[in-house]
Every structure is written in C-alpha cells, then in structure tokens.
Amino acid sequence: MPYSEITAGSIFYTVGRGPTEEQRSEGRPVLILVHGAGGNHLQWPAELRRLPEATVYALDLPGHGRSGGQGRDTIAGYAEAIVGFLDALGIERAVVVGHSMGGAIALTLALDFADRMAGLVLIATGARLRVAPVILEGMRSDFEGSVELITRFAWSSEASPALIELGRRALLETGPDVLLGDLNVCDRFDVMERLGGIEIPALVIVGTADQLTPPKYARFLAEHIPNAQLVLIEGAGHMVMLERPAEIAGAVREFLE
Ligand code: COA
C-alpha cells in the first residue's frame, strides 16, 4: 500500500492510501488523524494510519513534530489550521479522528465547520478539558517531573513499559513551551452546552481506566451528541489507541461502514 510523508504549506503529514484512485472517486472516506497535547502523528498506531478502507492523513499540528509554525493559543485556532490543511489538499469533507486535545479540535470543527466534516471520531477526550493545577504549575517549575506525572496518569497498568518509555521521551522532546501552551488551550476549552448542535455521526471511544479524560466525559459526549455511539475499551488508559490499536481500528472500520 503506498505510504508517503509530505508537507502542505507548513503542515507535515503522512498519507496511507488505502483505496485505489477509482475507489476514492466513488466516495471512499478520507480520515484526518489529529493528535493530542504536545503530540505528533506518531501518536497514531500503524493500524489506523494505514487503514485499508480509507485514505488516511496523519498530521503534525502547527508547532509540533515536523510541522513549522507555532502552536495556537485556542482550540479554534487549531481548528482553523485543519481547515487550511483541507483546503491545501483540496479535500471537501473528511472524517476527523481526534485524540484528547485533538478531540476538542474535532468537536470544534463539527460545530463551526460542519460542511467540511463527514463524521467525527472522538478518542479519550471530552467537551470540557480542565487540566489539574498540579500538572499546569509543575510544567512551569519542573518540566521533567511534570512529564513523569503525566506519564503516570496517561497509561493503564497493562501498557507495555517500552511503549510508556517511548511516550515519555516524546513528551520530553516536545519541550515545555509547546506542551504548556497546549495544556492551557485544553484548560480553556468548553463546549458542554453546544453538543446538541452537532449534526454529523459521531463515534466516541474511551478506555475504562483512563485517568486524564475519564469515561464520564465520554458518556457525556455520547449522551449529548444527537447521533453518537459509545465504545468502551475495557482496562485501557488515556493512550488507548496505542495500547489497543486493533480494537480501535476495528471500531473505526465499523463506524465507516
Ligand atoms: N464531561 C462531563 N463532565 C465533566 C467534564 C466533561 N468533559 N469536565 C468536567 N466535568 C464535570 C466534573 O466531573 C465535575 O462534576 P462533579 O461536580 O459532579 O464532580 C464538574 O463537571 C466540574 O468539573 P471541572 O470543570 O473539571 O472542575 P473541578 O474543579 O471539579 O476539577 C480538575 C478540575 C482539573 C481537578 C479536573 O478537571 C480533573 O481532574 N481533570 C482531569 C485531569 C487532567 O488534568 N486531565 C487533562 C486533560 S487534557
């Protein structure tokens, strides 16, 4: 399956081209994978980045990973950057798959740019994403200690130590400015009162052991978005798509059908 790494403007992305050109013109889905705070496209497992049923774009948000530019200071700012990405690639409508802060961006796209959206997949996220003060304050005074804390909360006890270590190193490489910027952006995000206005179909996924965006947040999304279904991944933590990639890819595949 062709797989390439490219940039559109200053946005770096990979594309896994599942369907053939002919299948795409028949309306096979386009997926955009949007990572979480301080992340990059590698927070998505290959099972999703190379999903055979769709054309899958996994991008680095501005100021993250290999993309240029600066992080944005609002979720709406990131949503506008995604719309710019869709425009640059001539993509009319896409299913946006967001993890954590990426889910907040996806929700904002569904509310404010519904005409560009074909569906919404919300993974380990919420309609409001307050960040614990101990994390926000720690990020300023003791970056490494704060990364340790986030790492402890982000994975379930079943996650592989090698994966946890990779995640910890990725956060350290991101550095305090981008990570703190994103956490502040999350802390200000709140669309709890607006979910009834989402008209496109949504799939909500959460690990039952998620400590950063607990299942309560996912239930709230599934209960208040008019056309939503909820999938619980038993025992998984906040980094559910890396902990249980096959189950997540299976749920997304069923949703696309
Ligand atoms: N969906 C549904 N309910 C939500 C929600 C969401 N997205 N966000 C908050 N709530 C609920 C809370 O459960 C709480 O309900 P309660 O009064 O019945 O207990 C209420 O709304 C108010 O919560 P919140 O706005 O979060 O304020 P708080 O002062 O109670 O708690 C924190 C603040 C930061 C301690 C808390 O939000 C928390 O523990 N967050 C998770 C940890 C974290 O840092 N995550 C990072 C996310 S990027």
14-31 pLDDT tens trace: 998 765 565 555 678 999
C-alpha of 220 from chain center: 18
Domain boundaries, the chain: 3-129+188-256
If one counts every other C-beta atom within 10 angstroms of the C-beta of residue 92, the result is 10
Tens digit of pLDDT per residue, the chain (257 long)? 456 777 777 899 999 876 556 555 567 899 999 999 999 999 999 999 999 889 999 999 999 999 988 999 999 999 999 999 999 999 999 999 999 999 999 999 999 999 999 999 999 999 999 999 999 998 889 999 999 999 999 999 999 999 999 999 999 998 899 999 999 999 999 999 999 999 999 999 999 999 999 999 999 999 999 999 999 999 999 999 999 999 999 999 999 98
Distance 188 CA to ligand 1 centre (A): 12
DSSP E strands, the chain = 3-8, 11-17, 30-34, 55-59, 94-99, 117-123, 202-207, 228-233
Distance 151 CA to ligand 1 centre (A): 19
Is residue 229 within 8 A of residue 122, CB to CB? The reply is: no
Distance 87 CA to ligand 1 centre (A): 35
Residue 55 CB less than 6 A away from ligand 1:
no
Is residue 37 within 8 A of residue 179, CB to CB? The reply is: yes
CATH topology of domain 3-129+188-256: Rossmann fold (3.40.50)
Does the predicted model carry a pTM greater than 0.85?
A: yes
Residue 130 CB less than 6 A away from ligand 1:
yes
